[in-house]
Structure 1
Amino acid sequence: MIMTKLRAFQFLNILIIYLLSVSCSKDEHIEIYPTNQLYSLKNVSYGQDPLQKMDIYLPPGRSMNTTKIAVFIHGGGWEGGDKDDLILNQEIINGLMQEFPGYALVNLNYRLVKGNQNQYPAAEIDVQMAMDFIYSNLDAYQVSTETYMAGFSAGAHLAALHTLKHNDRGYIKGCIAMSGVYDFTADLENESDDARRFVEQFLGGTKEEKAKEYQDASPIHYVSANSPKFYIVHGTNDELVSIGQATAFEARLKQQNVSVLTFYHQDNHGIGEGSLSKLLADLKSFLN
């Protein structure tokens, strides 16, 4: 009996030592991407859903002290679109790295509304999950915590919402919001039929039916004196989302003395070629 207990005790000790050694070896073999070259990491999973993926572009010469993170979120009415809509071939990536040196680029997918599935707050949660994943892998990527969020249309809404609602750690230093909706509680009669349909599908009903969701999902309600700077881009002839969404958001930010740069171009919901040079110049100023 004594020998049996002794053998059991020895086995338990061996098992504990083995588990500790496995645990330590995992920590010691974290993959670190060498900083002397560019890495294009495609379809990095930050969750279990097939849409919870992102592309990460790590520039050469990066450093955990100086290399910042720029995150782009695609549009599509919260029910369509894809990160691959932003065509980033090697030539374009190299060009972006030259125009914006010192930035790691992240192109993000998120769960899309399909019927009653993936309605709010699924997309908001996905952005949080993606950013937490990035921050937990700073050592591997060799980048700093300093982050700039950016998005177009529905992506602008998600970027602004994350910037204003989930920046407790202060990592986010600015947000680039293009053609977005920032206040669902405003009178949406000025918005297009398509915009109202997208909003109701995303939030699960009308403003009367889902008052809490309309409030919680509106970036404008999270503006404070501590909010990071914003660059707002919107078309004065936008037929999908009215320019009033942008100007009201700008006014709320300025009311709290938040730094705001704006570009109100004369295009529709998208950004025309004639506006690109001004946009690029503004982005350089805002990011650098």
Structure 2
Amino acid sequence: MPRTQKAALATVAVGLIVLGIKLLAWWVTGSIALFSDALESTINVVAAIAVFVALRVAAMPADDNHPYGHQKAEYLSAVFEGVLVVIAALLILREAYYGLLSPEPLTAPALGLAINGAASVLNALWAVLLLRWGRAWRSPALVADGRHILTDVFTSIGVIAGIILATATGQDWIDPALAALVALNILWTGWKMVREATGALMDELPDPGLIEDVTRIIRNHASGAQEAHDLKIRVAGAMTFIDFHLILDGQMSVQDSHDICDRLEQALKEAFDGKASIQIHVEPDHKAKNEGVVGL
């Protein structure tokens, strides 16, 4: 099983453990904010399962119906997860609303805080690992899952602060009020997750740093060519698709032009750990544009 799938499967297990701990904290205190926190963890478990399924689909090789592979399944997972974050936030707002209408005192708040705090530490550590692995392995699904879990951590921090404040002041309405504020922050995070994933599905222009890296590689390994233009880059999961036009001397032999293209393809694939698809369209020198291109 690939490492990304192992990480996703482990996330399901971690999510179930965290969910159990948070439900215990809610049962001990009766806090609406802690219940809302546990509700978001339920979404985490469902989202983790979706990520695991998406990664298995994304790992499938290209076939007749999907000649470019299945990598975009990861972005579908990220969209789904973002939608779940938004739903969780709306459910939390609902609970906070009813809590504000009828605020109730908390029971055993210190014990509840300790229990919830343990779950938050576990969540934070796992989120950091997912973000690190997702970026290193170029997996948008793992990155989205890490961000989702981080929102859970921020929720827990806000909830803990609210319970401490409510207990210290005797103002029971603070508990549901802070839960509502945290829910609004979760809504914003969910929107950003959906926005980024849909942008990738629509082949939005990649990060400028990636474009600069590809341009530099072409410039440094295209000896014998005159110019490169019409550079297009799109990213789908761990794969990067690159195509451009390469201007060569019109009298150059097919073998020489082929050698230049091979050299460029090898350099680009090495830069992306082999996870790159390169398409180079060779053109004679009278096709040069001399503007907005990679000068060689």
> Is TM > 0.5 for Structure 1 vs Structure 2?
no
Higher relative helix content: 2
TM-score (norm 1): 0.26
TM-score (norm 2): 0.26
Higher relative strand content: 1
